[in-house]
Amino acid sequence: MTSAARVTAYAFFLCAAFISLLPMFTHAQFDYGSGADFTLLISPEHPAPGDSVTVTAKSSSLNLTTTPVTWYVNGTSRAGDKGTSIQVVAGALGSKTTVDAVVGSTAAGGTAIIRPTEMDLLWESDSYVPPFFRGRALPSAGTALRLQALTRFKRDTVTVPDSSITFTWRRNGYVIQSVSGAGKSQAVIDAPPLFGTDIISVDAETGDGQLSASASVRIPSATPVLALYEDHPLFGILYHSALGAQNAVPESEMSFAAAPYYVGASSASDPELEYAWQVNGQAIGGDPAHPGEITISATNSNGIALIELALGAVHNFFLSASGSWGVTLSTNGSSGGGGSNPFNGTAQ
């Protein structure tokens, strides 16, 4: 074969090979889910079981408003839906709903798979609240937040353990690397600053990316609150009934206990706390063993006392709380006596 003939045969071979590959290139360009200019979006991004899910087709090169889109749900045609979006109800946990979209008579299309999941985000602070308190311990400046992500991920009937899930924790959109990672469904972080508010969020995803969920919560910094309770000699501190601004009691002597809600302390007698009591303007020295308790006795027919309390902390300079309570005690059986201060006050 001459050189010219060999060149001609080689060129013919290359041309034939290129033509034979054209169908493969065309198919790959419009293969479901692989076309760069065709996308199926689902909303909400992380549906729960029974949620109504909107699947929307997007394309940068195809005019989807004039080109009909044919939808299929789990292989069944939805002939009545010809627009750019479709409504689908998410199934139960562990189920999979497949949504296919085909554009006109072309091979362009995409596939969206809906796998419902559930996740709750629980939180509380390590701040102090008195016994039997049914509310949440709120965070104040200087305390910590305890968070727990409760996931319910399933593959068919098998529950996915937290150890197979990666958790990404964020504060105000910024990743908290120290508490994020595989299996880290719990997190302990600093509370919001004084008068501040944080948005805490967590994303959970399996290693293959097939199951995912997201949750967030807005957490403001709380202001510590002081409440005063009667400390009964038989029943102890009556936490079910806090004193109001003005109170009348039938005894001539009574003990009271303060409860500092939402402060960074292990108990009301935590040595970190600093109590400053006053009765009718007179400072009352405290007992280090029980700095949050005080006993007052009526010594004058007036029988009226103004109890004031200021609370601070040894190392938490942000902690500042105060309260005042008017108390009228019975003067029956009191020993009487004079003086500018009608009470003998002692901290217990």
Predicted pLDDT of residue 106: 64
Residues 206-260: tens digit of each pLDDT = 999 999 999 999 999 999 999 999 999 999 999 999 999 999 988 888 899 999 9
| End-to-end Cα, the chain, rounded Å | 117
Give the C-alpha separation, 286 to 274, whole Å. Answer: 10
Which residue, 262, 270, 261, 266, is CA-closest to 229? 261
Please name which of 113, 88, 101, 104 lies closest in space to residue 32, comparing C-alpha atoms: 101
Domains of the chain: 38-114 (2.60.40.10), 118-220 (2.60.40.10), 225-347 (2.60.40.10)
Confidence (pLDDT) at 289: 84
Asked whether 99 and 40 are in contact (CB, 8 A), the reply is yes
Q: What is the pTM of this model?
A: 0.77
For the beta sheet containing 38-43, the strands, ordered from the edge strand earlier in sequence to the opposite edge, are 38-43, 52-59, 85-89
Q: Can you give the pLDDT at residue 60? A: 81
CB 334 within 8 Å of CB 252: yes
d(CA 20, CA 113): 33
3-state secondary structure of 86: strand
DSSP 289-313: TSTTEEEEEE-STT-EEEEEEEEEE
CB atoms within 10 A of CB 134: 5
Q: Which two tokens stand for residue 346?
A: 């002692």
- Residue 61 confidence (pLDDT): 77
- Consecutive sets of 10 residues in the chain, 348 residues long: mean pLDDT of each? 42 35 26 58 94 91 80 89 89 95 78 96 96 93 96 95 98 98 98 96 96 97 96 92 92 92 94 93 83 82 84 92 92 44 39
User: Could you tell me which residues come within 8 angstroms of residue 138 by beta carbon, excluding any fewer than 6 positions away?
Assistant: 125, 127, 222, 261, 262
pLDDT digits (tens, 9 = 90+) for 173-220: 999 999 999 999 999 999 999 999 999 999 999 999 999 999 999 999
3-state secondary structure of 324: strand
